[in-house]
Amino acid sequence: MTPQRAETLEWLVQRASAAVLALCVIVHLTVIVLAVQGGVTAKEIAGRVGGSVPWLAFYSVFVIAVALHAPAGLRNILREYTSLGRRATHWIMAAVCVLILGLGFRAVVGLYGLGA
């Protein structure tokens, strides 16, 4: 793959994941507003999300989309404000992607397991 094609496709992934995230965030904000009525408890969270396959699917998509989206933005910031080379920013981007996937799925899968 040419570097031009790779860069263009990376840009497309950032935009496509943004579109997915917009939908996720609308759902997320709605849930936040509804959930905070009367306060949030560990029990409330477990009762809603635990064992629920639709919520597992939703939060999995959410985490994957964030993991694809956020590192690209961070890379732009590093490219524009630091003197880090392209290789360095590429590896930082990959590391942040793995970090978000790891921490995100630990939480998502853990919460799903509460209902089992």
Rounded to whole angstroms, how far apart are CA atoms 77 and 14?
Answer: 14
List the Cα angle 47/104/95 in 5-degree steps: 175
Q: Is 37 in the site for another protein (CB under 8 A)?
A: yes
Mark residue 6 as left, alpha or beta (left: phi above 0; alpha: psi -120 to 50; beta: remaining): alpha
- Smallest separation, CB 60 to another protein (Å): 13
Mark residue 35 as left, alpha or beta (left: phi above 0; alpha: psi -120 to 50; beta: remaining): alpha
* Contacting another protein within 46-65 (CB under 8 A): 46
DSSP 40: -
* Contacting another protein within 60-99 (CB under 8 A): 66, 70, 73-74, 76-77, 79-81, 86, 96, 99
Interacting residues toward another protein by CB under 8 A: 2-9, 11-12, 15, 18-19, 21-22, 25-26, 28-29, 32-34, 36-37, 39-43, 45-46, 66, 70, 73-74, 76-77, 79-81, 86, 96, 99-100, 103-104, 106-107, 110-111, 113-114
